[in-house]
Amino acid sequence: MTRSLQAVAYRRPSVLESAVGGQRLGLETSRGATPSGAADHPRFFSGFLTSPQIAAAGLLAVADVAAARYYQPQLRASLDPVVTGNGDRLRFESFSGCGGVYARLDVLTGGLDGGEVGRGTTNVDVNNPLREALSRIGADDPLHLRVGPEEMAVTTLDGPVVEKKVPLPDRWLRGFAEAQVVAADFDLRAELPAAEAVRFLRSLPRSGGRGSSAGPRWVVPAGRVLRPTTRPVPGAVCLPGPERLIALQRVLRHATALRVYGPAVTAGGAATAGAWEAVLPGMRLTLTLSPDASRGFSGEGGVLDALATGEHRAAPADRDGGGSGEGAESTEAADDTDLVSMLLAWEPRIDVADLAASSGLPAERVRAALVRLGTSGRVGYDTAEAAYFHRELPYDAERVERHNPRLRSARALVAAGAVRLDGTLGTVTAEDGHAHRVRDDAGVLSCSCLWWAKYRGGRGPCKHALAVRMVRRGAVARPADQVERSGPPTGADLNTARIDGDMR
């Protein structure tokens, strides 16, 4: 697994301290993005929490996920949550170390009192002493929340800096991109009242190990309860690795309802992701689970088409029978994305109709641009409001694209001249000379390779289908001598297109 070292610097550790009239929670921020550009330690909020004990439990739940590995739990994880100020709310987000659980705590307007919420995104320090202090907050303890440095600290040039050097898995960053694509297909499937939510969640196993499950679990709404079933049926929601919902136990006694979201499923369908939302006073805590405990979001492949669209504006209009409009489509997609990105304003709820009116683009092209922006972490998706929201990840978002193995492999195939088109059929010649047939059925591509046979498109396109789509769209320019060359590409041509790129 590719990893890089991420330096996260804070002016001082986050701390919970006693103050006149109550307690004071100071959450320190690292370098982040704001409407005025990058800032070393942005300040997003200073005011009171209307439900201190519940907010503390929710924040701890997000930190629990950031520190957990639900698959191969013997390996430890330690990552700081991401916080976004959207003008009317604060969002705290994290991914598990194994990449299979995405957590988000939305502290809404009703959960904040007495302070203006800023706009921007950065990391927030949640250290072990702070976790211990938060767990001791009582129901009647007034709590003042500060996200960002003190005003005095902003003007201070000297002083201690707490720097953490954490290994950041690229799959964790790619997971942010994939999660919003997956969640955009979810609909509300069930809403349980508080008592039933407690009964259901407490009935789930609290631990799970490698190979402990015989297969994914499913639940079906039956009135105001969830009934277990052994197989997918219309209206069912998949519950793979139910022990991964353990972070909800932090807020369970405060929840007023439990909402369950998932995609439409059919009888005999494969396991799917799902979202489980605890409704809290002035807040929402949502856990989104990947389709399998051993399967991180980073490999779902939902963003590959978006990444492969519009990556080179100067592509020829016609290549290998791709049609005269494909290069124009590539340029149009890139231009749409640039235009929509300039109109984002840290909105907590992105209104597609408003963006369409502001940009002059049809609503469908705006939605497509939002998906592409999501691949770099610039938007997330809120299942509760069925809407995108603006954020900017505090990491190098270009790594999502650079470190996606299937995308790199597909580019290598195209650059090596391995793709030939003949109407709806595409032929991709591998390094060993074996030809893979890619068929286009009304825009849905299938392939004769082992990847397609195993996943049937359930984890995005294989590298061969992706390469064919790139050539059809005119997305990747190739030298003329490679376009005309016959025979299979050489080993040097396909150095990055080996089987490891096919299986991730």
* DSSP string covering 313-349: TT--S--TT--TTHHHHHHHHHHHHHHHHHH----SS
Question: Of 283, 304, 274, 303, whose CA–CA distance to 183 is shortest?
Answer: 274
The CATH code of domain 304-395 reads 1.10.10.10
pTM comes to 0.81
| pLDDT value, residue 335 | 86
Q: Which position has the token pair 């609909």?
A: 187
pLDDT mean over 431-445: 84
Band of residue 77 on the pLDDT scale cut at 50, 70, 90: low
| pLDDT value, residue 286 | 98
Q: What single DSSP character describes residue 298? A: G
| Structural contact between residues 330 and 475, judged by C-beta atoms closer than 8 angstroms | yes
Please provide the average confidence, as pLDDT, over all residues in the chain.
81
Residue 9 has pLDDT above 90, yes or no: no
- Three-state DSSP at 371 gives helix
| pLDDT value, residue 231 | 87
* b/e sequence 95-119, b meaning 16+ C-beta within 10 Å: bbbbbbbbbbbbbbeebbeeeebbb
Side-chain-side CA neighbours of 337 within 13 Å: the count stands at 23
Instruction: Identify each DSSP E strand in 62-197 by its residue range.
Output: 82-86, 90-95, 101-107, 112-113, 119-123, 143-147, 162-169, 187-193
478 vs 453, more confident: 453
Q: Which residues contact 470 (CB under 8 A, 6 or more apart)?
A: 308, 410, 411, 414, 419, 476
| pLDDT value, residue 460 | 78
Handedness of CA 10, 288, 350, 327 (dihedral sign): positive
Residue 382's φ and ψ, nearest 5 degrees, are -100, 110
Percent of the chain at pLDDT > 90 equals: 40
The side-by-side arrangement of strands in the sheet containing 101-107 is 37-39, 32-34, 119-123, 82-86, 90-95, 101-107, 283-289, 274-280, 257-262, 187-193
pLDDT mean over 162-187: 78
pLDDT mean over 354-370: 92
Domains 178-298 and 304-395 agree in fold: no
Instruction: Identify each DSSP E strand in 378-490 by its residue range.
Output: 379-382, 387-390, 419-422, 425-429, 435-441, 444-447
Crossing angle of helices 326-343 and 352-359, rounded to 10°:
110
Residue 61 has pLDDT above 80, yes or no: yes
Rounded to 5°, the CA angle 347-352-353 comes to: 115
Using CA atoms, how far apart are residues 58 and 62, in angstroms rounded to an integer?
6
Residue 427 has pLDDT above 50, yes or no: yes
The side-by-side arrangement of strands in the sheet containing 444-447 is 419-422, 425-429, 435-441, 444-447
pLDDT mean over 397-412: 74
- Kindly report the number of other CB atoms within 10 A of residue 301's CB atom: 22
| Structural contact between residues 4 and 167, judged by C-beta atoms closer than 8 angstroms | yes
Fold of 178-298: DNA Polymerase III; Chain A, domain 2 (3.10.150)
Domain ranges of the chain: 3-92+107-166, 178-298, 304-395, 400-502
352 vs 151, more confident: 352
The pair of structure tokens assigned to 148 is 């960002």
Residue 498 has pLDDT above 50, yes or no: no
User: Looking at the DSSP assignment, which residues form a beta bridge with residue 144?
Assistant: 24, 48
| pLDDT value, residue 260 | 97
The pair of structure tokens assigned to 200 is 């259901």
User: Looking at the DSSP assignment, which residues form a beta bridge with residue 102?
Assistant: 95, 288
Q: How far is CA 180 from CA 184, 241, 308, 342, 478, in A?
A: 6, 20, 17, 20, 32
* b/e sequence 305-320, b meaning 16+ C-beta within 10 Å: bbbbbbbeeebbeebb
Question: Of 326, 328, 308, 263, whose CA–CA distance to 414 is shortest?
Answer: 308
Q: What is the pLDDT of residues 297-332, one digit of tens each?
A: 866 666 676 666 544 333 333 334 444 344 455 567
Using CA atoms, how far apart are residues 416 and 365, in angstroms rounded to an integer?
31
Q: Is residue 349 packed enough to be buried (19+ CB in 10 Å), middle (13-18) or exposed (0-12)?
A: middle
| pLDDT value, residue 83 | 94
User: Kind and range of the H or E element at 453?
Assistant: helix 450-455
